Every structure is written in C-alpha cells, then in structure tokens.
Structure 1
Amino acid sequence: MASAGRSVVVLERGRAYPPGSFPRTPSGISHNFWEPAAGRHGLFQMWSFAGLDGIASAGLGGGSLIYANVLLRKDEKWFVHEQALPNGGYENWPISRADLDPHYDEVERMIGASAYPYTDTPKTNAMREAADGAGLSMMLPPLAISFSRRPGEEPVRMGEIPDPEYGNVHGLPRATCVGCGECDLGCNYGAKNTLDHTYLSAAQHAGADIRVRHEVKGFRPLDGGGYEVTYVVHTGQDGEPAVDLPVQTIECERLVLAAGTFGSSYLLLRNRAALPGLSDALGTRFSGNGDLLGFVMQAMDGEVGRQLAANTGPVITSAIRVPDDMDGESDGDGTRGHYIEDAGYPAFGAWLAETTGALGTVGRAAKFATERLVGTLTDSDATSVGADLALLLGDARLTSTSLPLLGMGRDVPDGVLRLREGRLEVDWTTETSLEYFNGVRGTMRTIAEQLGGTYADNPLWWVKRVITVHPLGGAPMGRHDREGVCDSYGEVYGHPGLYVLDGALLPGPVGANPSLTIAAVADRASTHLLETTAASSHIAPAPAEDLPQATSEPQAEDVAPGLVTGASAPSSTSSAGASGIRFTEQMKGFAALGVDDPQAGHDAGKKARERMMFELTISVDDVDRFVSEPGHQGRAEGYVECDLLGGRLDVERGWFNLFVEADDPDERKMLYRLWLTGPGGNPMTFTGFKEVRDEPGLDVWRDTSTLYVRVLEGHVDPDAGDDGVPVLGAGIITIHIPDFMKQLTTFRTWGDHRIGAMEGFGKLFLGQLWEVYGRFATHDEVEPEEAR
C-alpha cells in the first residue's frame, strides 16, 4: 500500500525487537510476557481457555518473531467446499489454491524462503529414516531463514547478511543461521526473515508511518465514510502497570485489522455495537489448526542411545505429511490429514531438562563430591578432574535421545469465540476432533517406534487440553454475510473499507503451518484493494509528531467523546436547606443487537447467553422539589456492563424519572436514560422504562422490577425525542430479590430534614410497600461529603 503511494499508518501494540534484544536469562524471560495492566510489556501473550491454551506475540513483526519459520502452502484438495461439521454447519473455502498460487509466489520471493541446506543434522536425518521406514512422505519445507549471505550462495554460519535495497527498520547488522534452536524465542542473530526485516522495513522505506507501543482499543465508522480508531500509547517501563492511559484517536479511510486471530476477533466482538448489521458468523469457525505436541523418548540404535540432538539446527527442519480423505489417498473413512514436524529447542533447554532430572543429578553430584573429598584427605596428586566432571554431567541421555514432535492438520473448525464479562472466551473441545488427534498421535507413535524409542504425550493431553500456536477463525470469509463475516478479500460485509487480514479470516484449518497462507490471502486482498479503489485518500492521518504524546494531556479533538472527559449529570436545583436522598440499584438480564423489541432482544440474548446489567446510584438533591415536579427527575450515575456494547461502560450522563404520567391515566412509568460511549468512541444512549399500571390484581413487584431496554445510536437528549433514532439493540433486565434487599440498605439522606426526605420519597416510590421495608433503610444515615 505504501509503495503504491497510499498514506499508511501501522499501529503496533508491542515494542521493536532488533537482533540481540531477545532475552535469554531466566530473569529476562520471566518478564517477557504481555500483560500491561500488570506492568509486563514483553513479547509473549499467553491465552488460557477451557480446553485450550494459545500463544500469541506482541512486537513489531507480530507472530513472525516467535514462529518456527515454516512456509508451506495449503494443500490444493484441502480447500474444502461445504464439508459438514459434526454438530451442524459446514466448512467452506470461497477461494482455491489457484487463487492463491501467484500470491504464494510473491510472498516467498519477498520473505526469501529456502529449505534447510545442511545434511549432517541428526534430528533431520532421523525424521527421514523414520518416514522411509513407515512408508510416509517426508520433505524439507521452505523456511523463512537466511542460511547464506545472498540467494544462491553456499550456506555459511554467522555470515553477515547485506541489507536489501529498502534497508532495515532496526538499522543493525544481521547474520546467517547458526543452528541454535532459539527461533521460537526470537532470533538474536537476525537470521530469521521476520516481517520487521522484510515487509515492514520495505513499508517504512516507502513512506509508511510505523508506530510501536500503540495499542488499539476500538474503532467506529464515521459519517460519510472512513473510520475513527481509538488507541493508547504505552510509555511505561517494565514493572510499571499501564492504567488510566490517555485515549487518543486517528482517522482513516480504510482500516485493516491484523491483530491476530485472538486480537482481531476480540476487537470486533468488543466493538459490535459500533458496527450495526455485523454478521452472526462473528466468533465462529475457530480452530487451533490441529496443533498437538508429542515426544519421542529414549530413541535407541540397537543397544546404543540414538543421538537426536534436538537443539541443533532451527526449531523445525523437516515435515512428514499424512494424506487426507480429500486427497483420495486414504481409506475414505473421513480421515483428516496432518503434518508431523521436528520441534527443536535451545541448548539451555537441554541443560534445564537434564538438571531437573533430580535423582540422577543428586546421585552424580554426591559421587563427585565424595571423590573430591577423598582426594583432598589423601593428598592425591591428581590434578586432572575431567573424568570426574564428565561423571557429574552424566551421559545426558534424557535430552540426547529425545525429540519433540509438533503435529498440525485439518481438525474440526467448530469452536466459537465470544466475550464473557469483557474477556475473550473460547467454546472449544477436543471431543469433536478426537479422531483427528488420535490419528496424529498414532503417526507420532509410529515415528518413535521407527527410531527405537517410545512415544509420550504432552501431559496436558491427559486432561484433554492442547496448546495452539496457530489459532484460526473468528471472522471467517464466506460467500455471503450468512456464511462469513468477510468476503474472500477480507472486507467486512456491510462495512466498506473495514478489512480483516490475518488468521481470523480463515474459515477453517490450513492443515500445514498457516503463516504463508495468511500472508498470501493478505497479498491477494491488498492487490484487489489497489486495483478497485482510487489512488488517493480523502482522510489523511495526522503525522506522528503532530499527535499528542501519551504523557501529555490529550486535546479534545484527538480524544473520543466522553472517554476522557464527560458531561455533568443532570441535577435538580437545590434550594437552601433542601434535603436529598440517594440509593443504589442493580438490575440484570439479557439483550441482543439488531432488534428493537425488548422481549425479542431478551429471548435472543438469553439463548445466546448475552447478558446485560447495570449498577446505578440514583440521586435527588432536593426531595421536596422532586416530589412536587411532574417529571420527578433525578440523576443516575454508575455503569452498564454488556459484552455486546463493549464490556463495562461508565455512565457519562444519566437521567432518572419516577412515576411519569403516561397517555393512559391509570399508568405511570419509571424512565432511565444513560449516555454511554463504546470502546471505539461510538456514542450510545441506553433507554429503559418500567410500566406501573393502576389496575386491580396487578403484580406490583413485576411492574417495579422489570425494565424494558433499548440502546440507541448516538447521545440522544431527553427533550429531543427518540423517533427516527436508529436502535442498536434491546432487551429486558430485572431486579432480583437479593439485589432488591441489598438496595433497601443503600438509601442515604442528607440535609436538615433527612427523615422527612426519606418518608416523602418513600410515599412516592413504594407506597404501601415502603411501610414494610422503609424502616430498614432509615438507620446509619450519613451525610455525603459534598453536602457537608
């Protein structure tokens, strides 16, 4: 985009990681996690869900910083069409291998893919031997690693890599692969052709504005087109919690989400209220790409331990492919294909594994100490202790004869991503993919047997948990908005100019390592976008130096309305000597977007487990005036919590009206109106009413405890009327008995006539019901600080 002359801004939440900056010490690695609220601004983000853990990255270059470099294409016949899923629905790819092949070519050229060139690496040769013995197909996949100084030259370790014509975003030298097995922790030599060394360096050279430590919080469409993005800038040091950071904004004509499967899905789910008509497919088609970790243990060559040297070479050098039923090579029993790859680890991992083999280490250490003590007491003249030290270290059989195996393939994409109390949640289980996982384990067991060893499951498998480094889905592409969130070019249905171009877009597992396919899909989409849109942009982002710094007070025009500053709440004018009252109310229920009938919203929300609640403090500054005025208006302060609206949202301005007259003389209404702002800066108005009818046999409890809710677009003033205002969603929330009993204890009064204020309000609010419960609320009256 930048090379085509577009104005491009990249907002990256993490920091830049030049060669040499990836930590290796225990202290450094222990702090190398992404949890800004806890003061951690590191590289790894660990997601933990029911049945599954996920690993993502926060840094300039994203997941490429910590992946194992494999650039395999999705198998042609694995682009399935309407393949049924066990619990309903289907997997469908609206694109084909032919659509992606030219983009695969371009990405491989840009990244510089090459197969592992060395022939003396034990684990690579062991994988080839195991594949040959089991009649399986083994390959050396293309890797995003520089093994030689320039393409076509002979491989060399630690050779200096010359910068390409577009330079290097870090401005530091890079060296070719030394085979240290540290790829997944970040390459301190710069041998990995990660996105910061390739696409991002080229983008910056072409004029892209790359901003690190800028974390996007939300976005919303603008009138007339384009989007406003809200973000914060992390300026704190490690150990310094990121709290109350100023929210800043930037506008763009087109917005591309590329925050990873978890990140992009989370942003879309959190900003649903700002995107009316978003497909119901949001959150669906999640899978972990069939990731499963296993181990070859105690490999033997006859009676001698087989040296596998897992810590030699890159993390992955080889791949064994097992065919899929779609290939026509299996038994036609629905087998889902998979890949098994060697999974190396750094040398210090071997030291850790050996030294934690407690009994053997302690025994060897005791023998070493005893022999040295004997030598000292007998005044031995032996000064060479090499043999004794060798004894202390042992034969390292645990690590030298073991090899981790990484499996991945076509598992069942039936997982669902959703928000629960503002947090991302995954509804996924190994159960529907159990046959697939057992097939992967079977292949791993065969490899272990061919190497004269035993197979060991990852201990997490014993509780049917897996770890995925390849999460996919959540905003899947589809042929229409009932099948997918986006079209095949990543553009979100119903929201022109909004794109998802990462793993969230894929409608099912790739089977092979998905990084190359994700990049090819993004390349295809970018090509299409450039071919179908004008070259100029009518909204130009402000240059970085013109934006307010995170450490300074944001300017009003740079901040989403209401996120940093809020309007004052309505208040009755208090006369001298007036007495006031306040109480806190909590209501809970269900809601749905895209409906305007509260009952329909409640029913749909209950079915989808989409909860809504609020906790409000209702305040009246002058009870006498409140009782005498027909509007009976007080102010409402507190928060609304609803994942559909973006999580917990503070009330910026709130109105409460008690017993307002309706058209029917026998009916009264209690009215609520709350101004909210979503995480993307989108203004909303929460409106609700309780109906109280003066009819014989009326259920008073139901009338006073049931609130019919609509959420309107924009901040709508009470005097403006709601006719014609777009309705974002609706639902019903109620007071539960325990919450009502608690509410009665929250009544507080102040002023010269506090008991009179309580009684006057009680007669108006609860009538005869007040006579029963009012006495519990008159104790422990306190005068608010502002009244004192």
Structure 2
Amino acid sequence: MSSDIDWLVVGSGFGGSVAALRLAEKGYDVCVMEKGRRFDDHDFAENAWQADRLLWAPLAGLRGIMAMTPLKHVTVLSGVGVGGGSLVYGNTLYTPHSDDFYRHPQWADLADWRTELTPHFATAKRMLGVTTFVGEGPSENLLAEIAGDLGCSDRVHTTDVGVFFGTPGVTVADPYFDGAGPARTGCVRCGQCMLGCRHNAKNTLTKNYLHLAERAGVRVEAERTVVDIRPLGAADGSDGYAVTTQRSGAWIRRDRRTVTTHGVVVAGGALGTTTLLQKLREKGSLPHLSHRLGHLVRTNSEAIVAVISDDPDADLRTDIAITTSVHPDDQTHFTNNTYGAGGNAMGLTFGPLTGGRLRILQFILAVLRHPTRWLLPSRLRDWSRRSVVFTIMQSTDTALRLRRGHFGLVTTDKGDGDLPEGDLPIARRIAESAVRHLGGHASTAVTESLLARPTTAHILGGAVMAADRVHGVVDRHHRAFGYQNLLITDGAAIPANPGVNPSLTITAMAEEAMSHVPEKSSRADGAQRTHLEAAR
C-alpha cells in the first residue's frame, strides 16, 4: 500500500531528532510533527517575566519553551518547541554510572546495556558537542563546601555540557561537522541557558541533529499536534498508518490534516508519548498496545531545593546554568542551577522548606514568622542573583502509574515500586549545609512545600522496554508490541532511573534503536547522505 511519506516522527526532542536524522541517512522520506513553535535565537525570553516566551499553555495564549504539568504525585517540567527539551534544559549531558540503571530487572536480561550503549554514548557526545565546563566562583565553592559536610569532597567535579565556548561573542563557521552544521557563537557566560540561549552558544538540537536532518530533506512542521494514529489496512500497521494532526491549542479552525506513512516514531516526551498512546488505545485507534502502557513512570527520584542569601549584595550566578556536580553516594547526584540575571520571576514558584507531616501548617507558620520574606514583592528583587537551586537525582527504584482519569484528565497512581518521595533526607541535608555556609534561608517548590509533591524536570518511562507485552510496551529494539513499524524512541521507553540528567541517555538509546532500522533499499546508493558523513 503506497503512503505519502516513509516515516513520520512525533516530536522533535532528543529521541525524535535522532530518529529523523538517522532515518534520512538511511534514505527514507521523513516528516516531523512538533506541537510547539519554532524559535530563532532572538525569540527566547530575555527574562522569566516574559511568560509568553517561556511557558507553554497555548489555550491561555502562552507558546513558550517550558510546560508545567501538575499531577497528583508530581509536578512535571518539560520542554516544548522545535528542539524539544534541548531548548530549556541546563546543557548537562552525563552518562549514567550506576548499575541500578544498567542492570535493572526490567531490561537486564535483554542485553549487556553498559557495553551495548557505550558506542552510542560516544556518538551522542560527538553529535551534541559535549565538553567539560571550566570555571570557579561562589556557587562552585559552595558545592565544594557542601560536599565536605557530606564527607564526599573527592566526588565533586564540573559538569559535562553541550555548549560552544569558543571566543565569547565571536561567531565562527561550524566547528563540529566539517561545515555541514550552522555557524556558532562563543558563549558569553550569561547563565540564562534555561530561559533559552539567545547567543547561539547552546548546543540545542536545532544546531546539530535537526539541522542536519533538515539539510537531508526532513520536513519539520511546527505547531502541529498529533491527535490520531490509525493503521491502514492490516490491523498490525504492516500496511502503514494514517496520522491526523491539528493546530496546537486551537479552539476553532483546528485545520485537521491526515497524512499516510509507512511507519511512525513516537517521541513526544515521556508524558506526551504515554498520554497520547493511552488515548489512542482507549478510542480504538491502537487497541493492541500493551496494557502496561502508563506503568513504570519514573521521576529520576528527584527533589529540588533552593537557598536564598539574605545578603543584598550576594552574587551566586554562574557562567552557565549548571556548572558543578556532586555524587555523595553511588545512587545520588546533585547539581547547582542558576538563571543568570533574568530568572527573578522563578522565585514565585518557591516557598518555605517543609517536611514530614502537617506541611500546610508548617507552611503557614513559616510565612507568619517571616512575612516580609515570603509575602512582599521585594522578595523577588535580585532573587536570581542571590539564589542557588539544587537538583537532587537518585537511581533508586521509585515509580508511578500514569493514567487518564475523569474527562480524559491525566492523573497518577502508586506504581509497581515505592512512590517518589516529596521530602528526600539528602535534599534537606544539602539545604541545611548551604544555609550554614551561605546564610539566608532554604526553600523548595510551592507544590512540594504545601503538598509533599516533588517536582521533576526528568520524567521518564510509561512505555518501557521489556521482553514481552506482559511486562512492557516496546521490545529490545524500541518496537511497540502488537504493531509493525511503530517505534518509541524517547524517554518513555527508558525502564529505570538513570540517576543523572537523562538527555544523553535518551539520545544514546535512540541512536541504538535506529541502528536496527534497515536502509531503504531503493536508495541504497546513499546519494542523500554524502554531506552527512561528518556527523557520524
């Protein structure tokens, strides 16, 4: 059965961008559907008060790069736009080190994953331009002092990041792909990476995988939300699929369109992929998807705390968003996060640090004890300059179940493992140590402060890899059980908490998955790929 295109990719984040490029290299005609908008460097927010450029809530007219999704057990931060999470993440690209990840029972019997993924991690690092940050300042010194308090001074190091440092502010010809990539500009060290890089220095996917993919003929359609994927002919999709999209966030004039395709790669982020596929299974479009869909949703066992100095002259900003990492034990990793000069509005999302029982009462008492600290607008003055946010991640085996509740609203339940904790003891120790060295006061996300609901920027799982459909959603090659040519290559397929920022892991696993897709025989001469050899 003929199709309009060979492959359609849902989403343009780390998993989708890898799929788009590698399929194009293999000679396929590829189209990417991205629900967010396309950003040029000058389109990003100059500061966090510009909500329309920073936040994604299209029904409210906000079409920025970050979505905030409150769920019953966790608040999820995720990236939106052409380039996905790479637009808003903190540049950090780490290889997991813990056997908790590589030997998790969910996938340990399928391969020796540490060995299997090693070459793909190397490829991902080359493609994303990974380098090690060099620099030192008050924030970095603070982490060294905290590590000393935790007894792990020998486990502090600067971060591996995807940033072009070069000469600050100087634009040069493509430094990564022998001229096949775009010109780049040396990092000016403004520290506003998580608001979107306005200076052409951050190695977002639009500067590597997506740039090369579009050069190879891949078409990227922005602000198109996929609402249906339905097999053509054979029920298992072997005859291809009809994919329907509409304008993102449209109330009227949704401009629905349908395209037919030989195969589909779903890579809309762990939350987006899982909820889309659940909807399609329930409505009968993809009824044979495994009933494990929505299980084993991971949060990287994450907690976020902050410390704000009471010294009005304090300056804790860093050259880039995340500069330093500490590994206090084999399961735990934490970093510093700052927003440069433009993040003051982020202070609105933080409240008093609470823990244990009666959190609402603790919150109220903290506000009553220090009303000027928490109630006056002046508390946001120079918040970004005076604060350090700590992201704590663990490879422990916590999990949630994601499901569609009443009226199709997404909610969470207790999963197969323990629930992610809303009050990690190590997070409290880090905050207390920081306050001792810095002065000031500790804080955490308001939803965690009031409701013991942790916040994660690293949601994973929901359509995880397994040996069979009884235990998971995709097989060892990321192919959905029950269907032909239906792949899932984003964080939804990851079966365990990596314990570090997962962007590099998603990229490497997508590389591994795409290595098993055969070349398109009718284009085996590779004519379209001659200019892409440098990307390998």
Shorter-chain TM range is 0.7 to 0.9
CA separation of 1:433/1:348 partners in 2, compared to 1, >3 Å: closer, same or farther? closer
Is 1:6–1:536's contact at 8 Å kept on the other side of the alignment?
Answer: no
Is 1:411–1:436's contact at 8 Å kept on the other side of the alignment?
Answer: no
| Counterpart position of 1:729 | none
Match among 390, 399, 424 for residue 437 of structure 1: 424
Is 2:400–2:413's contact at 8 Å kept on the other side of the alignment?
Answer: yes
* TM-fit CA distance, 1:210: 1.9
Counterpart CA distance in 2 for 1:274 and 1:109 is: 39
Kindly provide the amino acid, as one letter, of the partner of residue 138 in structure 2.
Answer: P
Match among 477, 486, 504 for residue 465 of structure 2: 477
Unaligned stretches of 5+ residues in structure 1: 84-89, 149-155, 235-239, 300-304, 325-336, 364-392, 538-788
| Counterpart position of 1:283 | 294
Kindly provide the amino acid, as one letter, of the partner of residue 41 in structure 1.
Answer: R
Counterpart CA distance in 1 for 2:468 and 2:287 is: 16
1:256-655 superposed matches below 5 A: 256-272=265-281, 273-298=284-309, 309-324=315-330, 337-350=331-344, 402-420=387-405, 421-428=407-414, 432-434=419-421, 437-449=424-436, 455-462=442-449, 463-530=451-518, 534-536=520-522
CA separation of 1:58/1:101 partners in 2, compared to 1, >3 Å: closer, same or farther? same
* TM-fit CA distance, 1:397: 9.1
Is 1:285–1:476's contact at 8 Å kept on the other side of the alignment?
Answer: yes
2:142 matches 1:108: no
1:237-248 superposed matches below 5 A: 241-248=250-257
* TM-fit CA distance, 1:241: 4.5
Bigger mean CA deviation after superposition, 256-265 or 440-449: 440-449
- Partner SS state of residue 477, structure 1: coil
CA separation of 1:308/1:497 partners in 2, compared to 1, >3 Å: closer, same or farther? farther
Counterpart CA distance in 2 for 1:250 and 1:166 is: 34
TM value normalised by structure 1: 0.54
* TM-fit CA distance, 1:461: 2.5
> What is the CA deviation profile of residues 408-455 of structure 1, one whole-angstrom value per residue up to 9, with x for unaligned ones?
122444211111222322225997343982233334434544556664
Match among 165, 171, 181 for residue 160 of structure 1: 171
- Partner SS state of residue 517, structure 2: helix
> What is the CA deviation profile of residues 156-189 of structure 1, one whole-angstrom value per residue up to 9, with x for unaligned ones?
3222142344655xx7x64222222211111011
Counterpart CA distance in 1 for 2:32 and 2:260 is: 13
- Partner SS state of residue 479, structure 1: coil
| Counterpart position of 1:379 | none
Compare the two structures and name the one with the higher helix fraction: 2
> What is the CA deviation profile of residues 732-766 of structure 1, one whole-angstrom value per residue up to 9, with x for unaligned ones?
xxxxxxxxxxxxxxxxxxxxxxxxxxxxxxxxxxx
Pairs aligned (count): 466
* TM-fit CA distance, 1:205: 1.4
- Partner SS state of residue 99, structure 2: helix
Is 2:52–2:63's contact at 8 Å kept on the other side of the alignment?
Answer: no
- Partner SS state of residue 160, structure 2: coil
Counterpart CA distance in 1 for 2:441 and 2:149 is: 16
Match among 225, 238, 254 for residue 215 of structure 1: 225
* TM-fit CA distance, 1:496: 1.5
Counterpart CA distance in 2 for 1:405 and 1:110 is: 28
Is 1:130–1:451's contact at 8 Å kept on the other side of the alignment?
Answer: no
* TM-fit CA distance, 1:225: 2.1
CA separation of 1:125/1:162 partners in 2, compared to 1, >3 Å: closer, same or farther? farther
- Partner SS state of residue 75, structure 2: strand
2:19 matches 1:10: no
Aligned residues with identical type, % of pairs:
27
* TM-fit CA distance, 1:306: 11
> What is the CA deviation profile of residues 442-476 of structure 1, one whole-angstrom value per residue up to 9, with x for unaligned ones?
34434544556664444433320122111111100
CA separation of 1:344/1:397 partners in 2, compared to 1, >3 Å: closer, same or farther? closer
| Counterpart position of 2:78 | 56
Counterpart CA distance in 1 for 2:68 and 2:38 is: 19
Is 2:336–2:388's contact at 8 Å kept on the other side of the alignment?
Answer: yes
Counterpart CA distance in 1 for 2:307 and 2:207 is: 35
Counterpart CA distance in 2 for 1:347 and 1:5 is: 45
Kindly provide the amino acid, as one letter, of the partner of residue 340 in structure 1.
Answer: F
Is 1:74–1:97's contact at 8 Å kept on the other side of the alignment?
Answer: no
Kindly provide the amino acid, as one letter, of the partner of residue 123 in structure 1.
Answer: S
| Counterpart position of 2:13 | none
Counterpart CA distance in 2 for 1:107 and 1:195 is: 11
CA separation of 1:247/1:445 partners in 2, compared to 1, >3 Å: closer, same or farther? same
2:95 matches 1:73: yes
Is 2:79–2:89's contact at 8 Å kept on the other side of the alignment?
Answer: no
Is 2:37–2:222's contact at 8 Å kept on the other side of the alignment?
Answer: yes
Counterpart CA distance in 1 for 2:343 and 2:324 is: 20
* TM-fit CA distance, 1:130: 2.9
Is 1:10–1:210's contact at 8 Å kept on the other side of the alignment?
Answer: yes
1:34-45 superposed matches below 5 A: 34-45=56-67
Counterpart CA distance in 2 for 1:360 and 1:287 is: 34
> What is the CA deviation profile of residues 228-258 of structure 1, one whole-angstrom value per residue up to 9, with x for unaligned ones?
1111245xxxxx9442413211122121011
Please give the root-mean-square deviation of Cα atoms over the aligned residues, in Å: 3.4
CA separation of 1:266/1:209 partners in 2, compared to 1, >3 Å: closer, same or farther? same
Bigger mean CA deviation after superposition, 102-111 or 53-62: 53-62
Query: Higher Cα Rg: structure 1 or 2?
Result: 1
* TM-fit CA distance, 1:278: 1.8
CA separation of 1:308/1:484 partners in 2, compared to 1, >3 Å: closer, same or farther? farther
1:155-194 superposed matches below 5 A: 156-163=167-174, 164-165=177-178, 167=180, 174-194=184-204
Bigger mean CA deviation after superposition, 51-60 or 27-36: 27-36
Counterpart CA distance in 1 for 2:300 and 2:213 is: 30
CA separation of 1:277/1:399 partners in 2, compared to 1, >3 Å: closer, same or farther? closer
> What is the CA deviation profile of residues 620-662 of structure 1, one whole-angstrom value per residue up to 9, with x for unaligned ones?
xxxxxxxxxxxxxxxxxxxxxxxxxxxxxxxxxxxxxxxxxxx
| Counterpart position of 1:783 | none
| Counterpart position of 2:158 | 140
Is 1:65–1:186's contact at 8 Å kept on the other side of the alignment?
Answer: yes
Counterpart CA distance in 2 for 1:322 and 1:54 is: 25
- Partner SS state of residue 508, structure 2: helix
Is 1:285–1:415's contact at 8 Å kept on the other side of the alignment?
Answer: yes
Could you say which structure has the greater relative contact order, defined with CA pairs below 8 angstroms and 6 or more residues apart?
2
Is 1:34–1:41's contact at 8 Å kept on the other side of the alignment?
Answer: yes
* TM-fit CA distance, 1:351: 8.9
Is 1:321–1:340's contact at 8 Å kept on the other side of the alignment?
Answer: yes
Kindly provide the amino acid, as one letter, of the partner of residue 226 in structure 1.
Answer: G
